[in-house]
Structure 1
Amino acid sequence: MASTTRRSKAARADRKTEIEDRMRAAITKLVTDGERFTELSVERLVAEAGMARSTFYVYFEDKGALLRAIGASTLHSFYEGARPWFENRGEVTYEDVKGAIKGILEAFQENEVVMAAVAETAVYDADVGEMYRESVEDFVASLRKLIQRGQKDGTVRDVSAADTAAALSWMIERTTLQLAPGATPKRIDAIATGLADVIWGTLYAGA
């Protein structure tokens, strides 16, 4: 019985992931074609995704719940590029920092439509806004730990870990949203260089 229950739960999870992927593709297609996410109805989304309206409501209470579901996984992947930098237990180099930032920018571009929809909806939807802020705050917490660890081993300058982590994290978030959409690979590299310069000068130069 336990095995059957586990298989049933796994099947439901797989089905939900499939539904989320189809809705993500529908949002991307419609917004890329010129429609605004805020103006898209559930009917329009399910029609594009090729699913029944009743199926949508099995998994999502409304459009905001849909965006929270697909936004959470997208935001997780957004910051995944910084993992090698955050988990580095050796001597951090400038290229480590730039590589992490470039990874974030490239992850944003891969999910640009959904990321923009989440950021836009977060302004007026309290639940989406909370989810979005929590995601950034998770990044802040990881960066704070990196700073504190670096200060202990003498590789990071004597700065306020909490305040500096918050300032740098929100700088990365705002810069990405404003400059990454539609940027060419050359432009992405330039943006990554600019952010890396600020981060390196703030945390590592002269430590």
Structure 2
Amino acid sequence: MPSITRRTPSPARKASADAEILAATRRLLTDGATFTELGIQHISAEAGVARSTFYAHFKDKTALLMRLVDTFVDTSFGVASSWEPEEGPDGLAATFLQVVAAYREHTAVLQAVAEVAAYDATVREFWNQVLGRFTDRAIETLRREQEAGRTPASVDVTSATRVIVIGGERAIFDHVLAGDPDEDEVFARELARIWWYGAYRRPQ
């Protein structure tokens, strides 16, 4: 009698299905689908996997969306956290230009996050935690600059950070959605100057 023991999928096969589901969802979003209207069956069919395979990899669509965002977060946070004040506003502008490029690459996914966060508390909290990583990094840098005497002690670090991080994130997103890619360099330079001469209070 033949064995009916189910084989556990190999790590390579599991990773492949994972990648296919993520890539399929990105394609559908890039093609104009809204995340809310995408069904599990639609995503599975696009990925070429069974519906049961989807659930073997992702608890639900919310878990899928957060996985989609992970690549963007790792890239943009790595870029943003690599800048040090010693590089000045020109270095900061170059950093922002890379962040804008990451936003452009992941625009469809970020639109999905904005869409779902409007009604899903889990996704909203997840995105707040993402911004929290950038906020914590900026606070750490600003405090270090204050302690070194390069940023005035009168700067309220927490308030200043909220303005430049949350305001800056919204500005980048808006620019990517509505702005001309040819203006990315100009936008990045102006954003850098706002941070440098505003929150960091560096003299002209």
Q: Same fold (TM over 0.5)?
A: yes
Select the structure with the greater relative contact order (CA < 8 A; seq sep ≥ 6).
2
Q: Contact 1:140/1:169 (CA < 8 Å) preserved in 2?
A: yes
C-alpha distance in 2 between matches for 1:59 and 1:101: 34
Q: Contact 1:101/1:192 (CA < 8 Å) preserved in 2?
A: yes
1:138 lines up with 2:133 in the alignment: yes
C-alpha distance in 1 between matches for 2:143 and 2:109: 33
Work out which of the residue numbers 178, 182, 190 in structure 2 matches 1:186: 182
- Deviation for aligned residue 1:59: 1.7
In the alignment, what sits opposite 2:121? 126
Q: Mapping of 1:72-111 within 5 angstroms? A: 72-85=70-83, 88=84, 91-111=86-106
- Deviation for aligned residue 1:174: 0.4
Q: Contact 2:90/2:189 (CA < 8 Å) preserved in 1?
A: no
Q: What TM-score comes out, normalization by structure 1 length?
A: 0.84
Work out which of the residue numbers 43, 46, 55 in structure 1 matches 2:53: 55
In the alignment, what sits opposite 1:24? 22
In the alignment, what sits opposite 1:205? 202
Work out which of the residue numbers 162, 165, 169 in structure 2 matches 1:166: 162
In the alignment, what sits opposite 2:5? none
Single out whichever of 129-138 and 187-196 deviates more from structure 2. 187-196
Give the 3 Å change call, closer, same or farther, for CA 19–172 of structure 1 in structure 2.
farther
Aligned partner of residue 176 in structure 1, secondary structure:
helix
In the alignment, what sits opposite 1:196? 192
In the alignment, what sits opposite 1:70? 68
State the percentage of identical aligned residues. Answer: 29
Q: Contact 1:80/1:104 (CA < 8 Å) preserved in 2?
A: no
- Deviation for aligned residue 1:17: 4.9
Letter in 2 for 1:166: R
Single out whichever of 40-49 and 29-38 deviates more from structure 2. 29-38
C-alpha distance in 1 between matches for 2:162 and 2:47: 38
Q: CA RMSD in A?
A: 2.2
Letter in 2 for 1:110: E
Q: Contact 2:44/2:54 (CA < 8 Å) preserved in 1?
A: yes
Which 5+ residue runs of structure 2 have no aligned equivalent? 1-7
C-alpha distance in 2 between matches for 1:28 and 1:40: 11
Larger gyration radius, structure 1 or structure 2: 2
- Deviation for aligned residue 1:182: 6.6
- Matched residues, number: 194
- Deviation for aligned residue 1:196: 1.1
